[in-house]
Structures are given as structure tokens and as C-alpha cells.
């Protein structure tokens, strides 16, 4: 039995979640200090992938990165690189889909965080970097970890955008979710069922993880 799709899914999602994690935290921190109106606008833009159908995200990625697109053509010309129909195209798709989960939970955690602690840090002469990494993040870690686990789980099951930007190429771009669809379409119901079970098993593991990290922990 070829487990490549599972490996590929984990690889894609791990890289994409890492990117979404870093970008989501930075975006949440940046948005925190914006004036109210600008904040609302930025917030809407950054959250849009959450409400858009993934196929629309896939469409936008293809329009900007496919070899026929302006930017895609340049990439081809300068670096002889094609992004679409490769496994790393899915990394971009999954990162965009997963981003709002990190961003929103981080923003929520930052906003409910006692701003006096940040101000106290500043009056004590602590650098903004110290305040972010040593005060804000450690005290918001439960919310952020929970958001990241949800982002990872959502990314692992990503189908719409992934299938548009990298299709199903056995041993190259196949993922756990595209495998289910692929085998169903070619009437290999046994294989489709097999990948459904893998999806279910992975999902159960993640639900358990989410519940563990969502448990409010009292220090001391």
C-alpha cells in the first residue's frame, strides 16, 4: 500500500502551518495597534480566506502563479520554475486556508490580554521584542497553540484549493483528501474507503489534541 499521500499531506501541512503560524502572529500583533477603522478593514481582508470557497482561493493562486499568468511566466523565464501542479503549490494553498485560524485566535488572545502588562513592560524599559516574545506570547500560548492545531487540522483536510492548484498526480501531488476523490472517481471504492479511514483516524487524533490544548490551565 502506497502511503505517499499521507506523507505528502503531512509535509505540505507542516510547512504551510509553520508559515501561517508566523504570518498569523505577526499580522495579529500588527493589527492590534492600528486605529479602529483601518483595523476593521485589515481584519476583513485577513479573515476572508475563512469564508471564501477554497476553489476561489485556488482560482486566485492559478491566476497569479500559473505559467500562463504574467507573474508565473516571469518565474519560468528567470528561474525556470513552475509552481502550479507541483506539491509545493499546495503549500501556498494550504497556508492561505490555514492562515485565518492562527490569525483570528492569536488576535483574540492578544486582545483579551491585559494591555497594562505590555505598558508595564515598556515603562520598565523592556524592548518591544522582549515584550512580544517573553511576555505576550508565553501568556497567550494556550489560545495560540489551540488555533495552530485547528489550522493544522483544517490544512490536512484541504481539498478544494489543493486539487485546483496541483491536481492529483500519483506519487507527486496526491494528498489524503484528493486520494479519496480520485479513487472514488475511478471506481476504486476499496481504496477510497481506505483513505477515508486514514482521514478519520487523523481527524480523531487532532480532535483529541485540540481538546487537550483548549483546556484552560491554571498555573501554580
Partner 1 sequence: MLTCNIGKKLGGFSLDVNISVEPGVTALLGASGSGKSMTLRCIAGISKPDRGRIELNGVALFDSEKKINLPPQKRNTGFLFQDYALFPNMTVRQNIMAGAKGKTAREKQAAAEELSEAFHIAPHLDKHPVQLSGGEKQRCALARILAGSPDILMLDEPFGALDSHLRWALEIELAETFKRFRKPVLYVSHNRSEIFRLCDNIVIINGGRNEACGDKWGIFKNPATVQAARVTGCKNIAAAQVAGTRVSVPDWGICFEPGDIPNDVDHIGIRANHIIPVSAAKKEDIAVAFPFEIANEIEDTFTYILMVRKQGTDLPVIRWEIPKKDRAALKEMPQELAFLREHILYLKQEGKQ
122 near partner 1, judged by CB under 8 A:
yes
Q: What is the DSSP string of the chain?
A: ---HHHHHHHHHHHHHHHHHHHHHHHHHHHHHTS-HHHHHHHHHHHHHHHHS-HHHHHHHHHHHHSTTSHHHHHHHHHH----TTSHHHHHHHHHHHHHHHHHHHHHHHHHHS-HHHHHHHHHTT--HHHIIIIIIHHHTHHHHHHHHHHHHHHHHT--HHHHHHH---TTTT--HHHHHHHHHHTT-HHHHHHHHHHHHHHHHHHHHHHHHHHS-----
Which among 44-52, 100-108, 121-129, 192-200 is the span making contact with partner 1, rule CB under 8 A? 121-129
For partner 1, the closer CB: 126 or 210: 126
Which among 54-62, 99-107, 125-133, 181-189 is the span making contact with partner 1, rule CB under 8 A? 125-133
112 near partner 1, judged by CB under 8 A:
no
Q: Dig out the grid coordinates for 183 from the structure.
A: 479513487
For partner 1, the closer CB: 123 or 215: 123
Which among 49-57, 132-140, 144-152, 165-173 is the span making contact with partner 1, rule CB under 8 A? 132-140
171 near partner 1, judged by CB under 8 A:
no
Q: Which of 70, 114, 190, 216 binds partner 1 (CB under 8 A)?
A: 114
Q: Which of 121, 143, 155, 160 binds partner 1 (CB under 8 A)?
A: 121
Q: Dig out the grid coordinates for 5 from the structure.
A: 499521500
32 near partner 1, judged by CB under 8 A:
no
216 near partner 1, judged by CB under 8 A:
no
123 near partner 1, judged by CB under 8 A:
yes
Residues that bind partner 1 (CB under 8 A): 114, 116-117, 119-127, 130, 134-135, 138-139, 218-220
Amino acid at each position: 500500500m502506497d502511503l505517499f499521500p499521507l506523507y505528502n499531506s503531512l509535509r505540505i501541512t507542516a510547512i504551510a502551518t509553520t508559515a501561517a503560524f508566523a504570518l498569523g502572529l505577526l499580522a495579529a500583533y500588527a493589527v492590534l495597534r492600528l486605529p479602529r477603522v483601518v483595523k476593521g478593514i485589515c481584519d476583513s481582508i485577513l479573515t476572508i480566506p475563512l469564508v471564501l470557497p477554497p476553489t476561489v482561493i485556488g482560482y486566485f493562486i492559478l491566476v497569479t502563479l500559473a505559467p500562463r499568468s504574467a507573474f508565473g511566466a516571469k518565474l519560468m523565464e528567470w528561474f525556470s520554475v513552475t509552481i502550479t501542479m507541483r506539491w509545493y503549490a499546495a503549500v501556498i494553498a494550504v497556508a492561505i486556508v490555514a492562515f485565518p485560524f492562527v490569525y483570528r485566535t492569536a488576535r483574540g488572545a492578544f486582545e483579551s490580554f491585559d494591555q497594562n502588562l505590555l505598558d508595564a513592560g515598556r515603562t520598565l524599559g523592556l524592548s518591544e521584542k522582549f515584550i512580544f516574545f517573553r511576555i505576550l506570547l508565553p501568556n497567550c500560548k494556550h489560545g495560540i497553540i489551540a488555533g495552530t492545531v485547528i489550522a493544522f487540522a483544517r490544512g490536512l483536510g484541504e481539498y478544494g484549493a489543493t486539487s485546483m492548484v496541483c491536481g492529483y498526480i500519483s506519487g507527486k501531488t496526491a494528498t489524503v483528501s484528493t486520494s479519496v476523490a480520485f479513487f472514488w472517481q475511478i471506481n476504486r471504492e476499496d481504496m477510497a474507503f481506505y483513505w477515508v479511514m486514514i482521514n478519520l483516524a487523523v481527524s480523531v487524533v487532532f480532535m483529541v489534541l485540540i481538546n487537550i490544548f483548549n483546556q484552560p490551565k491554571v498555573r501554580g
